[in-house]
Structure 1
Amino acid sequence: MPERLGLFGVAIAPVAAVWPWLTGTTGVAAPCPLRWLTGVPCPGCGLTTAAVALVHGDVLGAIRANPVILGLAVLALAVGPLLGLRALGVLPAPVAWSVRARRMAGRGVVLLALASWVFQLIRLGVG
C-alpha cells in the first residue's frame, strides 16, 4: 500500500508541473464533484493546488492548500530507492499485511480523511 501511494505520487509530480500551463492554455480544469454539487469541500480538496505548489517549490503554499500532500511527497521520494534496493536484492520483497494490519491502516486512512475534511471546512469557511 505505501509503495502504491508512493508510485501515485511519482506519477502526479509531472502532471502537477505542467498543470498551470495546461489549465491556462486550454481552460481545462478538474473541479471537485462534491464541492460543485453541494458547496462542501471533500477531504481531498486542495490536493491539486498543493501538488502544484510543492512541485514548484512552494512548501508553505502546499501545506496551506492540503497538508496531506507532505505524506504523499515523502512516500514518492522513498519509493524509488526502496524499489531499487528490492530489485538489487538488498531488501526482501514486501510481505502481505495481516488482516489486523489492514484494518488498522484502513482506520488510519479514515481518521486522516476526517482530519483533512475538517481542515478543508475550516480553511474554506464552510459550516
Structure 2
Amino acid sequence: MQLNLRPRQVEVWFQNRIARTKLKQTEVDCKYLKRCCDYLKEENMRLLKEVQELRALKLSPQVMYVIPPTTLAMCPSYERVAVASSSAATSTTKQGHSSSCHPRPVPISPWAALPLPITHYSSSLQCPCF
C-alpha cells in the first residue's frame, strides 16, 4: 500500500501528532494542579479559621478546664463505661480495675496556655494530589 506522501509531509504529520499529545497531557496536568490548588486553598482557610478559634479560646477567661480529646480511649479491662463522681476518685469496675490510671481534666488558671491535643484531621475532602 502506497500513500504517495513526501517525506516532509510525514515529518510534519508526526510533529503535529506529538504536539497534540503534549497539549492534551498539559491540559490534564493543568486540571489536576487546579484541583490541588483549590483543595489547598480550602484547607488553608479551614486551618486559619481553626487558629483564630484556638487563639480566641486561649484568651477566653471562661475556660477553666483542659478540653479532652474528641476520641474515646478505654482501658481494655473495662466492661462498662462508668462516670466517676467527684467524691469517688478511684471507682472500680467489676474486675476491680481502678479508674485512677486514666487521665482526667485538670483545673488550670484561665490565663495559662492551653495544652492542645494532637488530633488528626479527617475530612470528607480528599486532596486529589495525594
**TM-score normalised by L of structure 1:** 0.28
Larger radius of gyration: 2
Q: Which has the higher helix share?
A: 1
**TM-score normalised by L of structure 2:** 0.28
